[in-house]
Structures are given as structure tokens and as C-alpha cells.
Amino acid sequence: MNEMKQYIDTKIFKPSTIVQAYFHDEALEYYTPLHTHNFHELNIVMAGNGKHYLNSTAMHIAVGDLFIMPPNVPHGYEFDSEKFSIFHLLFHKNFFKKYESYLHGLTGYHILFNIDPQIQRQSGIVNNFLHINITENYNLARIFNELALLEKEQNCNTETQKEFLAVYVIAKICEIIELEKEAHNKKREYPYDMLKSIEYIHLNFGERIELSTLHNISCMSASSYLRYFKKAFNCTPMDYIQDYRLRQAKSMLKYTDHSLTTIANDCGFWDNAHFSKLFKKKYKISPTQYRAQLKNNNN
């Protein structure tokens, strides 16, 4: 796999299409070279086993392993067994805009689409996929098949059906993962409940966040929480919170016309001066200069 050239997946979403679904199985190649794409992709192994390549790291995959691939992340697959199948559910960026209010209300959504993929990309953290028992969740497997059939039909009603089924799949997977968290804790190098503390950060970054709150959410002692956190993210929880606040502030500078004071407030900084100092330290440019730079680039 490492000898194969990386390519860019130019799969096109037709106008008004924001979800695609299909099975990659023995009818196709047993491998997919390293590639990137500009959409989110939910993958779940339905049969067989093999390797999932993430950048230069090879991770073993087996039936039930589930992982989200964000845009622009090099990855590929190689199956060891003759009979294999992996289900792919592809999401255009407009899917998340259209169903934003519902998706963000799901417990576990941020873990599934934002936090777990981030950890998978961290060096040294391998074979920690979320997992679903396909046999016990027959209804979900049936929905996968229905989505793949709708993809082939392509009539005037299929797009709406695909979208609603895709939302159902995400909601169901979030529910299953929550119910099976004890099994995840036994399999993974870090407890699943630790991810819930990261979700808490993502949802409450504008508020004061105490370390005690985070390790209590994770049902861990302070020392254990710090150890697992540093292993997963290569930083302390407080460093992670600050970095996340700065990333959100940068996005607000780009996509809103809110004042610096409002942005500093909304992102949990003490005041405008504190925000500007940390922003310049991280991005080597002040918030005011960054916004001016964006305006000049757009003119």
C-alpha cells in the first residue's frame, strides 16, 4: 500500500444530492490505494478483515469496526480475506448545514464526527475504532442495504429518503455506541467516557470549564484522566481548551462580523486583550490584522 501513489477522489455529488451510499466488496478490488476526498465518509466493516491505512500507519480492521474519514485525510484499505465488504456513507458539506440543528442535539454526534477522527490521526494511537455488533443490530444492516439500493434507483423520491435514512443511521450509531461504552472501554487504549469530556468542551467552550468537571464526566480520577488525555492528544486538557477556543474564534472572525469583544466573550476568554494576546501567539497575527487580511483577499 505504501508503494501506491496517492490520488484524490473526485467523486461528484449531483445537484441536490448530499448523501451517497454503496458497498465496497469482493465484486470490486480488494484494495483501495491511499486517497483523499473533499467530503465526510462513514465506513463500517460488514465482512472480512484487513488493514486500514491512515497516512503511513496501518491499522487492523475487522467486522463491526466503524470510522469516520474527514475531508483531506489520506487513507486506504487492503483486505486479507476473499469475502469482504465495507459500507460507505458519503456526506456532502451541505448535509451538515441542512440538518445541523438536529445533528448537534444528538448525544455522541461530536464524538463520532469530530473527536474520534481527531484521535485516530494522532501518532501512536492505533486500532481504537468504534465498534458495532452487526449481528445484534440487524436493523441497521438492513438500512445500509436500503441506502445502497436507493443509490442505484435514482428517482425523484430517493434523495429525500436517503437523507432521512442517513440521519437515522447517525442517530442510531450514536445510541449504540453509548449503550456499548463498556465494551469500548475494554477494547480501546483510552476509555470511551474520556471522549464525552471532549464533547463537553466542544459544547461549552464559551463557559468556564473546570478540570474536575472533565474527569468527573469521564468517571476517572484526576491523575488517570490527565494520563489518558495526554496520550490521546499530546497536550493537557487546559491546552486543548485554549486551542479549541482559538480555533472557534478564528472561524468567527472569518464568517461573522461580530466585534472582537463579542468573539472574546463567546469563546470563553477573560477579555479582548487576553484573547488578542493568545491569538497572536498562536497564529503570529493579531485578530484585527487577520480580519483585515481576509477582507483584502476577498477584494
Phi/psi for 297 (5° steps) reads: -65, -30
Report the domain count for the chain: 2
Task: For residue 202, give every residue at least 6 positions away whose Cβ sits within 8 Å of its Cβ, in sequence order, or none.
Answer: 110, 114, 115, 244
Q: Of the candidates 136, 10, 9, 28, which has an alpha carbon nearest to the alpha carbon of residue 75?
A: 9
- The domain in which residue 132 lies consists of 7-189
SS3 7: strand
Domain boundary among 189, 212, 242: 189
What would the pLDDT profile of 107-159 be if each residue is shown by its tens digit? 889 888 988 888 777 655 556 678 888 888 888 999 999 999 999 887 778 99
Residue finishing a domain among 154, 189, 224: 189
pLDDT at 2: 45
Is 265 a domain residue? yes
CATH of the domain at 287: 1.10.10.60
Confirm whether 22 is domain-assigned: yes
**Residue 195 falls inside a structural domain:** no
CA distance 284 to 280: 5
In this prediction the pTM is: 0.81
Confidence band, pLDDT 50/70/90 cuts, at residue 4: very low
Residues 125 and 268 in one domain: no
Asked if residue 82 and residue 154 are part of one domain, the reply reads: yes
3-class DSSP state for residue 221? coil
Residue 181 sits in the same domain as residue 214: no
Same-domain pairing of 95 and 20: yes
Boundary of a domain, candidates 189, 218, 253: 189
* Domain identity same for 170 and 53: yes
